[in-house]
Amino acid sequence: MTMVQELHDEIIPSSYVILAFTQRCQCCTAVHRWSETYALANLRPSMGLGKRISNLHRIDRPKYDLPIEKRVMPEKLIPFCHSCYFPTLHDLPPPPVPPRQLLGGLTEPPKPLTTVKREATKRPTVADLMELLK
Ligand SMILES: [Zn+2]
């Protein structure tokens, strides 16, 4: 059990709240509904100053006999869902292709090796050596 979980277990809630969610799939038009249960606690700041803070904590099962409030959340539209047979995005354009994608400079083309033309070293001839000894 985490410290946060232990902290929430010590807080006595004032009521339970059921949040009712609805999602409408734009691809297959399926409507998905589910509920989540929360414990609502009104916390007083530790210094006794300021206004109370409402804390909603998701729970698996209620512990006490308290009032239950139901809140219907606004419906959300989703592009596709797990019920879609074959969701596609064929009505959208393909992603743009940048001229080149650099990832840490790895995809940058290697620089051509610079070839320095060396003048062929001419082996000194005997005549050249004789010239040096003069
Ligand atoms: Zn769907």
What is the Cα Rg of the chain in Å? 38
pTM: predicted TM-score of the whole model, two decimal places: 0.58
Q: What's the total number of domains in the chain? A: 1
Domain that holds residue 38: 17-78
Query: Which one-letter DSSP state was computed for residue 131?
Result: H
Task: Round to whole Å and give the CA distance between 87 and 84.
Answer: 6
CA of 32 to the centre of ligand 1 (A): 9
Pairing of strands 31-43, 15-25: antiparallel
CA of 88 to the centre of ligand 1 (A): 11
Mean pLDDT (the chain, rounded): 81
Residue 52 binned pLDDT confidence (cut-offs 50, 70, 90): confident
Q: Residue 124 falls within a domain, yes or no?
A: no
Does the pLDDT value for residue 24 go beyond 90?
Answer: yes
Q: Residue 59 falls within a domain, yes or no?
A: yes
Does the pLDDT value for residue 105 go beyond 80?
Answer: no
Which of left, alpha, beta for 63 (phi over 0: left; psi -120 to 50: alpha)?
alpha
Task: Round to whole Å and give the CA distance between 51 and 44.
Answer: 7
Q: Residue 38 falls within a domain, yes or no?
A: yes
Task: Round to whole Å and give the CA distance between 58 and 12.
Answer: 14
CA of 2 to the centre of ligand 1 (A): 36
| Better-predicted residue by pLDDT, 108 or 42 | 42
Q: Residue 91 falls within a domain, yes or no?
A: no
CA of 90 to the centre of ligand 1 (A): 15
What are the C-alpha distances in Å from 119 to residues 20, 116, 123?
A: 85, 9, 12
